[in-house]
Structure formats: C-alpha cells, structure tokens
Structure 1
Amino acid sequence: MQGQHLAKSAAGSRGRQRNLAAAAGGPARAYQDFLLQLAALARNDTNLGLTHGDYLLSNMNITAGDPVTVYDFDECAYGWSLLDIAVYLYYFT
C-alpha cells in the first residue's frame, strides 16, 4: 500500500516536475527522472523482497574505505523495495 501511495504522489506531481525541469535544466531534470523511476518501482510486482525499514544513521556504520554496515533489523519485513528508498528519503532530506 505504501508503495502505491508513493507512486500516486510521484505521478501526481509529474506535471510540476516537468515545468521545473524545463525552467532549471540539469539538476531538476535528474530529480524528475528519479521520481519517474520511483513510480515505476511501485508499479512493478517483482520488486518485493526483504526490506530493512529503518535506515537511520544510528543504524549504520560508515567508515572511509570500508563497506557500509547496516544493523538494527527490528523493522525488517517482506514488502516493497520502494519502502526502503522512501524511508531513506524521509530521514535524509
């Protein structure tokens, strides 16, 4: 359900994003493309799998030169991959 809601939100703002992209160029165009890719993920039933559900900096170990380590799996569930992207964007934007 959450993935479908995000897809509708992204699709509903598509017209505004096109106007922004036409006016501003590069970064706005990249943002528009990103929203379209998110909307496509939400519509694709093959994008179900294990999700972390709680991407916060306090749940990650980020050290220069090392791979990022993610822990704290209490929100882990089977669901839309888009959920992890949405949670990340919510906390980091």
Structure 2
Amino acid sequence: MKISDLDVAELVDVIGQALVPVLYRGLDASTAPHVWRERSQLNAELMGRLVAVIQCGDVVGPDVFPLIDVCTARMAESYAESFGALLGPAGSLSKL
C-alpha cells in the first residue's frame, strides 16, 4: 500500500479529529477569544502542512514548500470563518 492508495479526505478528517483534543485541551466558555483564535491558527498551520505533504502523494520533493503556503492559507481562512461564527458578537461562544 502507498499513500496514493489512501482516501485523502478520510485521512485528513481523521488527523484533524485527532488534533482537536490536543490543541484545544483546557479551553472552555471562559477562555478568552484570542486564545481560541491562537489555537485555531496553530490548528490551521498544522493541518495545512499535513495536507500539503499528503497531497504530494508517494514522493515529497521541494515542490511541497509552495503547496504548504497554499494549504496553510486555505486552512487559516476556513478556520477563521468558522471561529468568526463562534466568537463574533452574535457567536454561540459569545452568548454563553
């Protein structure tokens, strides 16, 4: 079996779920929004790097570096959108 044989979407989902308990451990409704955003940014950085490497398939070469930038930026944008809904003035965490 090779990396190219794997279901990339499933792999990324499983890795993402495994990171959440580690990255967000100890955070709750009383945690300051900037801490949530910092953890979200770290999550985006880690997931972006992992996705870039996984997308390279069976051989990871120097072409991974621009892909890391692209994947990390996409993850950060996606997470910022999601956390904006949680932490904004009308966000569910803001209402607690």
More strand by share: 1
Same fold (TM over 0.5): no
Q: TM-score range by the shorter chain?
A: 0.3 to 0.5
- Name the TM-score, length of structure 1 as normaliser: 0.32
Normalising by structure 2, report the TM-score. 0.31
Structure (1/2) with the larger helix percentage: 2
